[in-house]
């Protein structure tokens, strides 16, 4: 058999990657081709025989680039997505090169050791106990699922039901309480876990999407049986941070009427948990350590490559019980839990390696700098927009989210706000995304990229205001 040609395709890929990264801050952020055009570009019969790897890579680059969204531009402000740091990207390339199945500890000691250290660094950075369990998963949805699976296991076991062996049928009903702004990822997790999306009872929130502790107290008063409460460290629209101490106080009162472990508090921190690393922003999270689990994304504010979510719990036994597996062909190391014991997948890539590399590159000071600078950029963005006629900032900027509405001369926002957003996206200088808020449309500007600076924010604001003024003149 002929020796494989590694150099040709890898050199082509590296050249294309450098070209993309060198120009991503200047190119239009929107794709130049739409889905129909990209389907036409790629849709062809399966080749009947082999092709040279270099030919395939060159063809892939040529066909793919017109349809790429420049998510790693510092002026991409959509869907709470970060960019990627040089160290994290290089580590991600090595993860694919090494091709380790990172589910078992003993057969893959390097990736297991790296993830073990990355987990410790995360606990230290965010201020969690050293014995908190950490699982690396694909993203925020799966991180919520992992935490809620551990919660389901723990609260049912506390009430005398072993869900791992008996399933849910015939067991006590689990009550799940969130808010009217609980992220849809939680609902999806509840569906997958067999609890059902409609199981979620939603309580009222304030103007920045923070749970009303009094409304929560009413909702949980006299609640029988297993109870899970899910709150937020950063609402996806407003960045609102729930009042954790007040919420934990409510649940402490409830716990007096439940067996130990029968009540679980989960924090969905996909948007904002990394802000806990900042001494300046940390006070807004007072009481967060009183929760039982926390979920976040590394590919948001930490700016690792996709895909990486992180599930953290205070109850390692419940976490491991929900996900561990055994088989006569599996290697079980009693001294070190398998990485697969903390996540749904046994076969998976070593997604904790880019987390390690990103944290090693930034260090504590670097993470704090990124968080505090992007928070400052969000505040600047809101201040510049709110000073303009016909522009209304709808949220208190607690983290890195800005929610804004544009009104035409007749005082109408229903069509004007989406038109402003569409014009800005089409122009390509910046890329915020849409939201629905308070019964009307809004534009959501998420400042999550590690390199976003004053110039990027000012160019984004200028693009929005120019579109706003141009469309008002037309109207």
Query: Are 14 and 87 members of one domain?
Result: no
Residue 325 is predicted with a pLDDT of 78
Query: Are 107 and 155 members of one domain?
Result: yes
- Three-state DSSP class for residue 293: strand
Query: Are 174 and 307 members of one domain?
Result: yes
Reported pTM: 0.96
Residue 475 is predicted with a pLDDT of 65
The answer as to whether 269 is a domain residue is yes
Residue 196 is predicted with a pLDDT of 94
Residue 237 is predicted with a pLDDT of 97
Residue 315 banded pLDDT, cuts 50, 70, 90 = very high
Q: Are strands 391-393 and 309-313 parallel, antiparallel or unpaired?
A: unpaired
Query: Are 37 and 156 members of one domain?
Result: no
Looking at 41, 70, 99, which one is the last position of a domain?
A: 70
Query: Are 440 and 396 members of one domain?
Result: yes
Q: Is the pLDDT of residue 76 over 70?
A: yes
pLDDT > 90 fraction of the chain, expressed in percent and rounded: 91
Query: Are 66 and 164 members of one domain?
Result: no
Query: Are 186 and 37 members of one domain?
Result: no
Instruction: Specify the number of domains making up the chain.
Output: 2
In whole angstroms, what is the distance from residue 143 CA to residue 296 CA? 7
The answer as to whether 75 is a domain residue is no
Tens-digit pLDDT profile for residues 370-411: 999 999 999 999 999 999 999 999 999 999 999 999 999 999
CB-CB contact of 278 with 371 (8 Å): yes
* 326 vs 304, more confident: 304
Tens-digit pLDDT profile for residues 164-215: 999 999 999 999 999 999 999 999 999 999 999 999 999 999 999 999 999 9
Tens-digit pLDDT profile for residues 243-273: 999 999 999 999 988 999 999 999 999 999 9
Place of tokens 């000012």: 458
The answer as to whether 78 is a domain residue is no
The answer as to whether 327 is a domain residue is yes
Q: What is the mean pLDDT of residues 102-114?
A: 92
Query: Are 15 and 133 members of one domain?
Result: no
Q: What is the mean pLDDT of residues 230-254?
A: 97
* 126 exposure class (CB count in 10 Å sphere: 0-12, 13-18, 19+): buried
Q: Which helix (H) or strand (E) is 228 found in, with range?
A: strand 227-232
Residue 329 is predicted with a pLDDT of 63
As a whole number, the mean pLDDT across the chain is 95
Residue 346 is predicted with a pLDDT of 87
CATH number of the domain at 281, please.
3.40.640.10
The answer as to whether 316 is a domain residue is yes
* Full domain range(s) for residue 475: 83-475
The answer as to whether 376 is a domain residue is yes
The answer as to whether 37 is a domain residue is yes
Residue 292 is predicted with a pLDDT of 98
Query: Are 243 and 321 members of one domain?
Result: yes
Q: Is the pLDDT of residue 65 over 90?
A: yes
DSSP 393-446: E-S--SSSEEEEEE--TTS--TTHHHHHHHHHHHH-S-EEEEEEETTEEEEEEE
CB-CB contact of 143 with 137 (8 Å): yes
Query: Are 323 and 375 members of one domain?
Result: yes
Query: Are 91 and 66 members of one domain?
Result: no
Tens-digit pLDDT profile for residues 330-347: 666 666 678 989 999 989
DSSP 3: P
The answer as to whether 2 is a domain residue is no
Query: Are 304 and 201 members of one domain?
Result: yes
- List beta partners, residue 391: 406
Tens-digit pLDDT profile for residues 410-463: 999 999 999 999 999 999 999 999 999 999 999 999 999 999 999 999 999 999
């Amino acid at each position: 058999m002929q020796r494989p040609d590694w150099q040709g395709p890898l050199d082509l890929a590296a050249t294309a990657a450098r070209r993309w990264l060198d120009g991503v801050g200047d190119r239009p952020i929107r794709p130049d081709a739409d889905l129909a055009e990209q389907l036409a570009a790629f849709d062809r019969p399966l080749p009947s025989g082999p092709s040279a790897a270099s030919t395939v890579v060159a063809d892939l680059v040529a066909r793919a680039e017109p349809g790429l969204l420049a998510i790693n531009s510092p002026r991409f402000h959509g869907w709470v997505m970060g960019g990627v740091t040089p160290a994290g990207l290089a580590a991600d390339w090595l993860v694919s090169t090494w091709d380790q199945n990172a589910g078992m500890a003993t057969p893959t000691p390097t990736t297991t050791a790296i993830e073990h250290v990355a987990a410790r660094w995360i606990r230290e950075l965010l201020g969690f106990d050293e014995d908190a369990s950490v699982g690396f998963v694909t993203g925020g949805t799966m991180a919520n699922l992992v935490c809620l699976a551990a919660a389901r296991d723990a609260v049912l076991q506390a009430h005398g039901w072993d869900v791992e062996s008996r399933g849910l049928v015939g067991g006590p009903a689990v009550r799940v309480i969130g808010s009217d702004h609980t992220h849809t990822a939680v609902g999806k997790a509840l569906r997958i876990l067999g609890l059902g999306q409609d199981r979620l009872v939603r309580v009222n929130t304030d103007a920045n999407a923070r749970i009303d502790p009094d409304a929560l107290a009413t909702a949980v008063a006299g609640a029988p049986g297993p109870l899970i409460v899910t709150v937020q460290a950063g609402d996806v629209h407003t960045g609102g941070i729930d009042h954790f101490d007040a919420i934990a106080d409510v649940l402490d009162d409830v716990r007096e009427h439940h067996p130990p472990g029968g009540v679980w508090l989960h924090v969905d921190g996909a948007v904002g948990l990394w802000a806990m690393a900042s001494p300046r922003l940390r006070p807004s999270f007072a009481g967060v350590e009183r929760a039982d689990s926390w979920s976040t994304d590394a590919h948001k504010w930490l700016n690792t490559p996709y895909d990486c979510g992180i599930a953290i719990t205070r109850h390692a036994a419940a976490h491991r019980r929900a996900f561990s597996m055994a088989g006569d062909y599996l290697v079980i190391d009693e001294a070190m839990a398998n990485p697969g014991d903390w996540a749904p997948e046994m076969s998976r890539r070593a997604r904790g390696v880019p987390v390690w590399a990103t944290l090693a590159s930034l260090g504590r000071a670097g993470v704090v700098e990124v968080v505090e600078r992007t928070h400052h950029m969000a505040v600047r963005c809101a201040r510049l927009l709110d000073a303009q006629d016909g522009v209304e900032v709808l949220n208190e900027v607690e983290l890195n989210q800005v929610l804004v509405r544009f009104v035409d001369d007749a005082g109408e926002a229903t069509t004007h706000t989406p038109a402003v957003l569409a014009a800005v996206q089409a122009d390509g200088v910046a890329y915020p995304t849409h939201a629905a808020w308070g019964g009307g449309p809004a534009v959501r500007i998420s400042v999550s990229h590690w390199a976003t600076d004053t110039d990027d924010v000012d160019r984004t604001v200028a693009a929005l205001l120019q579109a706003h003024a141009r469309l008002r003149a037309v109207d």
